[in-house]
């Protein structure tokens, strides 16, 4: 067997073992903490990969081509960016020569009715159940 085939088999086996180990870990953690609601919720969040996202945020951001670490300056930078993004994008989109109705589907304007005679109407009315 070639190296690539061996690698794929080992990779699949390793992933299978990792999944089993993860299941075993969470089962035992839930069993140990079944009477501790707070810890149980933390385990369940960890199981569905819902962890504290704030821990992964960078401490500094690029605002006006400068690295900024001050929280107020970062907040103002985000506010400025998101309050102006719509305006900036709309000015970069070329104007269209088509009107909005060119994008709408064509609707048939005509409704066809079959002609009826008075006897035909009377007969049809008698067929309809009350």
Nearest to 63 by CA among 50, 51, 78: 78
Range of the domain at 18: 1-56
Give the range among 46-55, 98-107, 114-123 with minimum mean pLDDT: 46-55
**CA 91, CA 47: separation in Å to the nearest integer?**
45
Residue 61 and residue 68 in contact, taking contact as beta carbons nearer than 8 Å: yes
User: Which element (helix H / strand E) includes 63?
Assistant: strand 61-63
Considering the domain boundaries, does residue 18 fall inside one? yes
pLDDT of residue 46: 87
Considering the domain boundaries, does residue 110 fall inside one? no
- Same domain for 3 and 47, yes or no, is yes
Residue 68 and residue 74 in contact, taking contact as beta carbons nearer than 8 Å: yes
| pLDDT tens readout for residues 60-88 | 998 888 999 999 999 999 999 999 999 98
| In the block, residue with structure tokens 């400025």 | 80
**CA 17, CA 23: separation in Å to the nearest integer?**
10
- Same domain for 31 and 48, yes or no, is yes
- The pTM of the full predicted model, rounded to 2 decimals, is 0.38
Q: Indicate the pLDDT class of residue 47, thresholds 50, 70 and 90.
A: confident
- Same domain for 79 and 43, yes or no, is no
């Amino acid at each position: 067997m070639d190296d690539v085939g061996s690698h794929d088999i080992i990779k699949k086996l390793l992933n299978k073992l990792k999944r089993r180990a993860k299941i075993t870990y969470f089962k035992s953690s839930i069993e140990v903490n079944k009477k501790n609601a707070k810890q149980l919720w933390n385990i369940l969040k960890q199981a569905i990969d819902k962890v504290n996202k704030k821990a992964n945020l960078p401490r500094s951001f690029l605002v006006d081509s400068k690295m900024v670490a001050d929280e107020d300056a970062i907040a103002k930078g985000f506010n400025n960016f998101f309050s102006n993004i719509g305006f900036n994008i709309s000015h970069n989109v070329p104007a269209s020569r088509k009107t909005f109705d060119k994008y709408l589907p064509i609707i048939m304007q005509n409704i066809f009715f079959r002609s009826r005679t008075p006897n035909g109407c009377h007969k049809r009315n008698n067929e309809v159940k009350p």
